[in-house]
């Protein structure tokens, strides 16, 4: 069988298996073994052993379980409750204030956890009942919770950025610094849209809280804000600051972050044996899932690239157009469509080894710039139907009366905001490249 037929067969088989719902990690590894044996014979097994050994000796990937453990500790520390309580009082008196508070809290949680599930569920339990009780539009409520929660996959410390760095041997510290401003840009765009929508487009969508609930003085509000914000800000500085100033590697910073999260939980009197056991179990479970997909995808891309699949894909793209911006747009479109149906980790592990050489070597884009465009694009995959994870996380904890239809309608303007953010980063590369240029050397 020719190499072109094998590469086409691999790709088509993968799409069929994914749409049929087979587990991604096992599917990737199984297809790589089948087509690898067709292409290389028993030598494919040596490729598998070699690639897996190299993966397991990658020091950067040690940060994955540590950042997951940090997120688990923070999820159980009660920090979201205090933050939302303070933001509720500060933003509540203005129209759309509770929605703005939700985005602010989600942004802070994103900069401390790196996992969207915890943020979406926490804000779904805290913010959704409070907003609906105050007469907020269900679609707006769903939109701000899911969109705010997805910031956790982009704003560092993000598991996606750690995986990306380990995948193509790129500095995780540079990825963290590069993602910070795009993440804040998206948060700003969410807040800007929410404020305009509630104050100028639909003035009944987000009513201000009653005056009797606004009984705190300025000094009391300031004290509440500082008390709730200081612990997570210290944690953010400890993790990101130690990386930016060269004090610690990302893996060491992840360990420091886990300790800091545990201390915050202890300060809030949330530490007990059950909490530690649950956090440890969840960390092992999530890490095992990530590494299984990593092993399968690494094997799959090795076989696919080895038999010329990457060259075939490059030829296909350049047969459509040789304009670098049009080729970049096609790659972004492919990532967006795949994001509707495939898990972000699978897309990252499959597409990045194929797309990066094209973008960097053929088109001349900065590898850090291209990496951020991919990550911003993949953030949309958590919101886009039919399989956006954030939608189902919220649906699982949504108050009575909030249906999947409300959630689907609510995410539309925020997906548009994400697209605008992506375009702005393409038009103004300094949004991505400025911070790494003044921090990580």
For 112-122, what is each residue's pLDDT tens digit?
766 676 678 77
Q: Tell me: pLDDT of 343 over 80.
A: no
Spatial contact of 295 and 56, defined as CB atoms under 8 Å apart: no
The confidence band for 3, taking pLDDT boundaries of 50, 70 and 90, is low
The confidence band for 391, taking pLDDT boundaries of 50, 70 and 90, is confident
**Average confidence (pLDDT) over 98-105:** 91
Peptide bond into 213 cis (omega under 30): no
Peptide bond into 307 cis (omega under 30): no
Highest mean predicted confidence (pLDDT) among 216-230, 259-273, 364-378: 364-378
Distance (Å, rounded) from C-alpha 282 to C-alpha 398?
22
The confidence band for 142, taking pLDDT boundaries of 50, 70 and 90, is very high
Supply the DSSP string of 343-357, one letter for each residue. Answer: -HHHHHHHHHHHHHH
Note the pLDDT of residue 2. Answer: 56
Supply the DSSP string of 128-148, one letter for each residue. Answer: HHHHHHTT--HHHHHHHHHHH
Query: For the chain, what percent of residues have pLDDT higher than 70?
Result: 96
Give the Å distances, CA to CA, from 122 to 40, 79, 106, 394, 412: 49, 10, 9, 9, 22
Q: Tell me: pLDDT of 441 over 60.
A: no
Angle at 233 between CA 235 and CA 95, to 5 degrees: 140
Q: Tell me: pLDDT of 76 over 80.
A: no
Note the pLDDT of residue 187. Answer: 96
Q: Which residues contact 416 (CB under 8 A, 6 or more apart)?
A: none
- Please give the mean pLDDT across all residues of the chain: 85
Distance (Å, rounded) from C-alpha 6 to C-alpha 273?
52
Query: For the chain, what percent of residues have pLDDT higher than 90?
Result: 26
Give the Å distances, CA to CA, from 254 to 60, 166, 242, 349, 380: 10, 15, 10, 22, 26
**Average confidence (pLDDT) over 338-353:** 82
**Average confidence (pLDDT) over 53-59:** 79
């Amino acid at each position: 069988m020719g190499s072109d037929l094998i590469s086409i067969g691999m790709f088509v088989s993968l799409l069929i298996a994914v749409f049929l719902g087979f587990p991604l990690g096992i599917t990737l590894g199984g297809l790589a073994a089948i087509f690898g044996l067709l292409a290389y014979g028993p030598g494919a097994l040596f490729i598998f052993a070699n690639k897996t050994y190299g993966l397991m000796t990658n020091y950067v990937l040690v940060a994955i379980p540590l950042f997951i453990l940090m997120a688990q500790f923070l999820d159980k520390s009660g920090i979201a409750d205090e933050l939302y309580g303070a933001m509720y009082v500060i933003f509540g008196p203005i129209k759309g204030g509770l929605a703005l508070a939700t985005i602010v809290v989600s942004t802070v949680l994103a900069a401390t956890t790196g996992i969207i599930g915890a943020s979406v569920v926490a804000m779904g339990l805290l913010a959704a009942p409070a907003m609906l009780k105050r007469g907020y539009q269900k679609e707006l409520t769903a939109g701000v919770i899911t969109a705010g929660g997805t910031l956790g996959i982009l704003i560092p410390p993000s598991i996606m950025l750690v995986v990306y760095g380990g995948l193509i041997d790129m500095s995780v510290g540079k990825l963290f610094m590069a993602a910070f401003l795009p993440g804040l840009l998206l948060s700003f765009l969410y807040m800007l849209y929410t404020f305009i929508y509630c104050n100028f487009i639909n003035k009944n969508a987000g009513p201000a809280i009653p005056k009797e609930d606004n009984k705190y003085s300025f000094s009391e509000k300031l004290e509440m804000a500082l008390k709730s914000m200081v612990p997570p800000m210290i944690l953010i500085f400890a993790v990101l600051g130690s990386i930016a100033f060269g004090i610690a590697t990302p893996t060491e910073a992840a360990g420091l972050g886990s300790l800091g999260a545990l201390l915050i939980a202890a300060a809030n009197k949330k530490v007990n044996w059950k909490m530690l056991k649950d956090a440890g179990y969840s960390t092992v479970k999530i890490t095992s899932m990530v590494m299984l997909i990593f092993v399968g995808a690494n094997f799959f891309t090795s076989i696919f690239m080895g038999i010329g699949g990457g060259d075939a894909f490059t030829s296909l793209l350049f047969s459509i157009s040789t304009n670098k911006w049009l080729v970049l747009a096609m790659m972004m479109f492919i990532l967006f469509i795949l994001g509707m149906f495939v898990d972000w980790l699978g897309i990252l592990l499959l597409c990045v080894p194929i797309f990066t050489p094209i973008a960097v070597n053929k088109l001349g884009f900065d590898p850090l710039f291209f990496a951020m465009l991919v990550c911003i694009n993949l953030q949309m995959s958590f919101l886009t139907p039919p399989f956006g994870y954030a939608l189902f996380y919220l649906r699982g904890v949504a108050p009575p009366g909030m249906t999947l239809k409300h959630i689907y309608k609510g995410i539309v303007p925020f997906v548009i905001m994400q697209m605008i953010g992506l375009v702005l980063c393409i038009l103004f590369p300094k949004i991505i490249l400025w911070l790494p240029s003044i921090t990580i050397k």
